[in-house]
Amino acid sequence: MSGAERSGRGTRRGRAGRRGTLRGGRLRYWLMPGIGVKRWLGLVLLGELALALAGAFALKQVYRESVVPGPLEGPVYVLTLQFLPYGARAIPLLVVGIGLFLLAVAKLARTLLLPFGEPSGPLVEVIYQKRYLARGPRIVAIGGGTGLSALLRGLKEHTSNITAVVTVADDGGSSGKLRTELGIAPVGDIRNCIAALADAEPLMTQLLQYRFPEEQAPAPGLGGHAFGNLLIAAMTAIEGDFEEGVRQSNRVLAVRGQVLPVAPEPLTLHARLLDGREIHGQSTIARATGIDRVWVTPDDVSATAEVVEAIAEADLIVLGPGSLYTSLLPSLLIPQIRGAIASARALRCYVCNVATQVGETEGFGVAAHLAAIEAHAGMLVDVVLVNDDYSAHRSEGDRSEPVRIDWTPPRGGPELVRRAVVDPSNAHRHDSALLAAAVVGVYQERGRPRPALSVASSA
């Protein structure tokens, strides 16, 4: 069997499994508080019951007043089920009534929804997404790379009030080519986050992540480009503005929440190594060892206004997961972002990576990760969420290691929370569902308005 056939079968089995799970969970969705449906369905039932009782009284009165047999006697006799034993007359009426009621509600809902397009799933799931998830906590997640997209994929099952803030310092691969050729900010991490938050995920993920092969590209210049990158670049060209292009991409792709660039223009990442050498570019720094400091240019870059507003209104701010120096810190190096996080009243949670990265954070434990953040942006966190499950699968010859918990919270400092959040099949990745549940649990247990702090000084 070919690889494509195996992949196709696996995809079909996955979809069938999801459909089975959704069927089994629909009743749970209907019964959840906050959906805003049960009260109106109950009112409809009471109204139907009142009408039925009124009709029964009328039929009974007509039947009793038919002293002389006439043309109405036969139909009334049948309609009132006089031919059945008295105790059994309610059963057929109950069955027919429930069936007609459910059919009418389904057809009415479909009729009302058709003018706005076919719903993306069963009606209860549409209502669940629009009503229940809309009441979830307002979460701002800052980072980039695969770590942030993994977090978002899990968070969208808990709330639709998500703002993903993505770095724009990438200079490699398809994003680097578009940055050089079109002058737009890199879109690779933005694409990953949009795919993670899309309602049609994982099908949308497959589409946005599809990369045209170098040898068989349908047109010159397309080789190596991801379809999602080209889509965002095209939307930017249509709107004439990068921020607006990303905003419209969110809308067109039905994203739960929003994905925003941390800045409206591309950033260049620079680093000074412990031996004094300076290197430039995100892709180069990601492979370096012994990083002492990083900074971004241009120096006077402004943060995206919507990002600053979202941070100020958030209930929970999540930093990471993602590459420490090349995905997380570039966003925190922007003074407006640091200031907004420092003065926010939201609970601030740092999600530490589950594994070190060869080069960038080789040999780092939790303490080294936190020390790097504090050295560049100040201590901006209230809770540090770390993985304490080291049983995940590691490939033979893998040079990365699980991040060690070698940090003890100082008195009055951030709180340490240990959870099993690693993907059991991949020691390099967080499990989306476990991580999201842990993050939401941290908020539910510790979320509270926090007194404003002084703005962290720039490093």
CB 428 within 8 A of CB 354: yes
Instruction: Please give the pLDDT value at position 377.
Output: 96
Q: What is the model's pLDDT at position 161?
A: 95
Q: Of 3.40.50.300, 3.40.50.10680, 1.20.120.1200, 3.60.10.10, which CATH number belongs to 136-446? A: 3.40.50.10680
* 162 or 204, higher pLDDT: 162
pLDDT tens-digit readout, 380-415:
999 999 999 999 998 888 889 999 999 999 998 999
pLDDT digits over 325-363, tens only? 999 999 999 999 999 999 999 999 999 999 999 989 999
Over the chain, what is the mean pLDDT?
A: 81
pLDDT at 64 over 70: no
Place of tokens 């019964």: 31
Q: Are 332 and 263 in contact (CB under 8 A)?
A: no
Check pLDDT > 70 for residue 200.
no
Per-residue pLDDT at 10 exceeds 60: no
- pLDDT at residue 311 in the model: 97
The tens digit of pLDDT for each residue in 268-279 reads 999 999 999 999
Q: What ranges do the domains of the chain cover?
A: 35-130, 136-446
Q: For residue 126, what are its two tokens?
A: 């549409």
Give the range among 42-46, 232-236, 277-281, 430-434 with minimum mean pLDDT.
42-46
Tokens of 325: 């120096």
147 Cα distance to chain centroid: 12
Roughly what angle, to the nearest 10 degrees, separates helices 173-182 and 188-197?
A: 120
Residue among 377, 177, 210 at smallest CA distance from 294? 377
pLDDT at 382: 96
Higher pLDDT, 181 or 310: 310
**What residues have CB less than 8 Å from 11, skipping those under 6 apart?**
none
Choose between 50 and 247: higher pLDDT.
Answer: 247
* Cα(259)–Cα(267) distance, integer angstroms: 18
Looking at residue 433, its pLDDT comes to 96
Q: From edge to edge, which strands make up the β-sheet containing 258-261?
A: 258-261, 162-166, 139-143, 316-319, 347-351, 383-387, 415-419
